[in-house]
Amino acid sequence: MGQPCFIIGESLYWYVLKRNGYKLTGNVTDISYKQAGVDIDEADRAVAEIRKMARATFTRGVLTDIGSFGACFEMPKMRKPVLISSVDGVGTKLKVAFATGRHSTVGEDLVNHCVNDIAVQGATPLFFMDYFAVGKLDARVAASVVSGMARGCKKNGCALIGGETAEMPGLYADGEYDLAGTIVGAAEKDQIIAGQAIGIGDLLLGLPSTGLHTNGYSLARKVLFEVGGYTAASKLPELDGLLGDELLKVHRSYLRAIQALRKAGVLKGAAHITGGGITDNTPRMLPKGMAAIVDTSAWTVPAIFEVMRELGNIPEEDWRRTFNLGIGMIFAVGEPDGAKALRLLRRLGEVPVVLGVVGKQKRGGARVVYV
């Protein structure tokens, strides 16, 4: 056999191979991990900042510190606990963060999105874990992103107990990163909200969104930046502030509203309006054979959505299936409980609207009918 040829990055490996009789040919050089594009010192700086922020979110159930191989969390005392989990990302909203250099809100977007996804099924959030991946790590940017996660966790009463910060040179463009998160919550088995109690004639109540939340940004960026020629610094007459401010509005949490309706015993079902809009998300809470009859005059669609529709000449069906159009959460409540539910929500400072009712789905018909 011919002698193997190595390009050695660690002089120790070169020494061991030579001691074992291998003849080294080719260019033998000392290449550090930093020269390969991974800066361990920068990672240590990032972790030090992250550790402080994460600790501030710790709840009584957290049993391990940041930096352990695995994160340990003690389950709360429950009769028949069911764990409910969700994984999500922020999508191309990150592109707006890159363009503006503002990174402190996307982490909160991520946490709130995940919290909503499990809260609609009756879960109380317990802990959150993140995945932050970047080509070249900047500890200040990483800390800014995590500050948003920590803020979101604190507001929602869940702990940021760990995650992964991955530096992968060549995989991401300079100045860009990806972000994903996992949330775990718990609910009593007999209190899971699955929509099974929803019936014909029940009311559909909607709560407002704060802009696009975290969905539809690929279409939004194409229409606004490519077709319209705007930038994040553009001031549109239809909007109160800069376009970047509008697009970076934080995806809000609906946890308090959900918990209030659950505690009052009036919540039959809930739908988080994300990708797919009202059209695709509302049926996820409805029993088979039922449809949502939605009154489009019940609320005013925020200006940003109307701007995009007109600018991009977006077909109405696509428009409704891409964006939330100003409604971020829909509740199903019994008609006799409607007034009570509205009072509860208003006490929380919410501005609920009666969107419509649950009806019978026509054979072969749509699950959401706009009237």
Among 145, 211, 219, smallest CA distance to 178 is for 145
Amino acid at 272: H
The pLDDT score that the predictor gives to residue 20 is: 53
Question: What region does 315 belong to: left with phi over 0, alpha with psi -120 to 50, or beta?
Answer: beta
pLDDT score at 1: 39
Q: How far is it, in rounded angstroms, from Cα 139 to Cα 61?
A: 29
> Taking a C-beta distance cutoff of 8 angstroms, is the pair 147, 53 a contact?
yes
Q: List pLDDT tens digits, range 348-369.
A: 999 999 999 999 999 999 999 9
**Which CATH fold topology does 203-370 show?**
Phosphoribosyl-aminoimidazole Synthetase; Chain A, domain 2 (3.90.650)
SS3 208: strand
Q: Where are the domains of the chain?
A: 1-31, 40-191, 203-370
Within the chain, which residues score under 70 in pLDDT?
A: 1-39
Task: Using the Cα atoms of residue 205, residue 211, residue 216 and residue 219 in order, give the sign of their dihedral.
Answer: positive
**Bridge pairing between strands 159-167 and 124-134:** parallel
The distance from CA 369 to its chain's CA centroid, rounded to whole angstroms, is 28
Q: What is the pLDDT of residue 66?
A: 86
What pLDDT was estimated at residue 112? 98
What are the residues facing 125 on neighbouring strands? 185
Instruction: Quick: pLDDT tens for 304-341.
Output: 999 999 999 999 999 999 999 999 999 999 999 999 99
pLDDT given for residue 148 in this prediction: 97
- Could you tell me the pTM of the whole model? 0.88
With residues binned 3-state (H G I as helix, E B as strand, rest as coil), the percentages for the chain, rounded to 5, are 35, 20, 45
- In this prediction, residue 30 carries a pLDDT of 58
**Residue among 358, 359, 341 nearest 350 (CA):** 341
- Supply 361's token pair: 């789905």
Q: Which residue has the tokens 């929509």?
A: 195
d(Cα 127, Cα 111) in Å, to the nearest integer? Answer: 10
Same fold: 40-191 with 203-370:
no
pLDDT of residue 46: 73
pLDDT at 41: 72
Contact status, residue 62 vs residue 55, Cβ threshold 8 Å: no
Q: Helix crossing, 40-55 with 139-156: angle to 10°?
A: 20
* CATH class for the region spanning 40-191: alpha beta
CA 120 to chain centre: 14
CA distance 179 to 130: 7
